[in-house]
Amino acid sequence: MVREDVRNVAIIAHVDHGKTTLVDCLLRQSGVFRENQEVVERVMDSNDIERERGITILSKNTAIEYKGVKINIVDTPGHADFGGEVERVLKMVDGVILVVDAFEGAMPQTKFVLRKALELDLSVLVCVNKIDRPEARPEEVIDEVLELLMDLDANDKQLEAPFIFASAKGGFAMNDLGDEQVDMKPLLDAILESIPAPEGEEEEPMKVLVSTIDYNEYIGRIGVGKVENGRISVNQDCVLVNAHDTEKRQRIRISKLYMFDGLNRVEVKEAKYGDIVSISGIADVAIGDTICSPEDTEAIPFQKISEPTIAMDFMVNDSPLAGTEGKYVTSRHLRDRLFRELNTDVSLRVEETANMDCFKVSGRGELHLSVLIENMRREGFEFAVSKAEVITKRNERGQLLEPMEQCYIDVPEEFSGAVIQKLAQRKGELLAMGPGQGGYTRLEFQIPSRGLIGYRGEFMTDTKGNGIMNTIFDGYDVYRGDISYRHQGSIIAFETGESITYGLFNAQERGTLFIGAGEKVYAGEIIGQTGHAEDVEVNVCKTKKLTNTRSSGSDEALRLTVPKIMSLEQCMDFIDTDELLEVTPQHLRIRKKILDPVMRKRSEIARANGKK
């Protein structure tokens, strides 16, 4: 049976092509908000970090009514690090709206998310967005998208995907480029016509595949998924099973049931096949679980989420300033918080280590882990993290394998030489080079994931902020050899105390400083970067000795250069394997793992001897 009164659709796209803005526009024009209601932009990006960075991290569900049909919309992340979110939410929908920028065209992540949709045999509706950009080239973008569909072996039905031309910011959509610019109705009509209605049998035993987990402090874990067959109702006795875990078989009862209405979750008594529902009251529900009637307990197959490729150690802060700024500082606090993150982040792994104060956290990329770190410091946690390192494997022949990335770079031609040289040093292999959009040169590399650790900052410097870099996971390949991450040494504080202008004035001749006067420092803290390969130790707490004689320049003010203040990502990129990043709600401090200079020197000698 087909339910013509429901459509389930996901919005997929490359980063910053306008998915969330498009959902905003559909919500506004469908009457979800009152006329006098003040609504912030990108209302679906509810997380502070999502708003600040302008990216979607977690997939979000919403629903609108149009012509008597309920359209359930899932807004998905565009960044490759959050690809795990996209993979699983596509199981909830019957079709996708592929949003493509009218200037940038089909980009690497467009290919990744589209491939996932085609593999699941979903219907595709293409929305060419931002057609009001001065440099928009919609006709060429249509050809690019059709080429991409052919490259990805789309079937005949998918190749006939309808194209809609829109400006989410301008609030209009058109079937053809010459049409009048009025509102978003052409897009909504296209959804009803080209996205198939959900199919199922109302009288069959009930089944729900849990595709997303939400978490609420009061309710606990909330499973979100589509009702595949039958009816589900409150107080119904069910069985929880999992296709990848045959031993999982748990009797449960549905305590509360919700459906989406605009941005709200509305409590309902029952739902039937085709509805997207939220279910609470199941303590250990996980992504990929099937909630089913006792009459038919066969689990619905579920695609395994891609494994993490990068890992960091999260540990209790043991610096001399430990515990002075954070609210949560103990290993128990750290452990509870990291394991709580697993409630909602399916792509994350947390492992306990032999050291009770240290946990190995693995994710899909540096951005994935940096978002977790930023969330934790805002919540009042104080801890330290190590340099990100890739997760390696061995094949049947015993060869060491490492994760690889496809790296697409668009740069003005004068910077292409510097980029090629830098990535070659990082074991990158240039696969293609050709003209890009807007007079840029397009470079395509295959490079080890670890070769990109710490490169983004350098890349922005080398291209004077004009370069665009996109990466996408490209499987595992044979280890490419050692990479030297950093060619410049560190300026290390020699004494614990408070930084003094006189000491900093003498230290700034050695390189670039990260701190100003009047800041607390400790022995072993890294306070700057030298211009050469060796580390240097300086005393920035040193004061000028007073004498009875007055020197000719004694009254001249000492001028300090402005310190380089680094963001969380820049700090994560900067630290080397023998260093840590101390994270507190107020400060980011870089330090040596071994603070004592004598012990540190012995360790360096032992490491050098071990390499011989």
Q: What backbone phi and psi angles, to 5 degrees, belong to 432?
A: -155, 150
Q: Does domain 6-194 have CATH number 3.40.50.300?
A: yes
Helix axes 108-119, 138-151, angle to 10 degrees: 50
Spatial contact of 43 and 126, defined as CB atoms under 8 Å apart = no
CATH topology of domain 393-478: Alpha-Beta Plaits (3.30.70)
Amino acid at 456: R
CATH topology of domain 207-292: Elongation Factor Tu (Ef-tu); domain 3 (2.40.30)
Q: What do you get for the CA distance between the two ends of the chain, in Å?
A: 71
Domain residue ranges in the chain? 6-194, 207-292, 393-478, 490-577+588-611
pLDDT at 400: 92
pLDDT at 228: 87
pLDDT at 384: 94
pTM of the model: 0.75
pLDDT at 542: 75
Pick the CATH number of 490-577+588-611 from 3.40.190.10, 2.40.50.250, 3.30.300.30, 2.60.40.10: 2.40.50.250
Q: Do the strands 237-242 and 310-315 form a parallel or antiparallel pair, or are they unpaired? A: unpaired
Candidates 358, 365, 335; CA nearest to 82 is 365
Candidates 185, 194, 111; CA nearest to 145 is 111
Alpha-carbon 329 to chain mean position = 26
Spatial contact of 273 and 198, defined as CB atoms under 8 Å apart = yes
Tell the burial category of 201 from Cβ atoms under 10 Å away from its Cβ (0-12, 13-18, 19+).
exposed
Helix axes 413-425, 455-462, angle to 10 degrees: 150
Per residue in 21-70, pLDDT (tens digit) is: 787 787 777 655 444 343 434 334 344 443 444 443 344 578 888 888 88
Buried b (16+ CB within 10 A) or exposed e, 434-467: eebeeebbbbebbbbbbbbbbbbbebeebbeeeb
* Residue numbers of the chain with a pLDDT score lower than 50: 33-59, 78-82, 552-556
For residue 212, give the 3-state DSSP assignment: strand
pLDDT at 333: 93
Per residue in 448-469, pLDDT (tens digit) is: 988 888 787 778 788 887 887 8
As beta bridge partners, residue 352 has 359
pLDDT at 41: 40
Average confidence score pLDDT of the chain: 81
Task: State how far the alpha carbon of 590 is from the alpha carbons of 289, 363, 381, 423, 575, in Å.
Answer: 42, 22, 17, 26, 7
Candidates 91, 145, 80, 85; CA nearest to 117 is 91
Tell the residue number behind the tokens 């309902």, with chain if given: 268
At 484, list the tokens.
Answer: 């030297």
**If residue 66 lies in a helix (H) or strand (E), which one and from where to where?**
strand 60-66
pLDDT at 81: 44
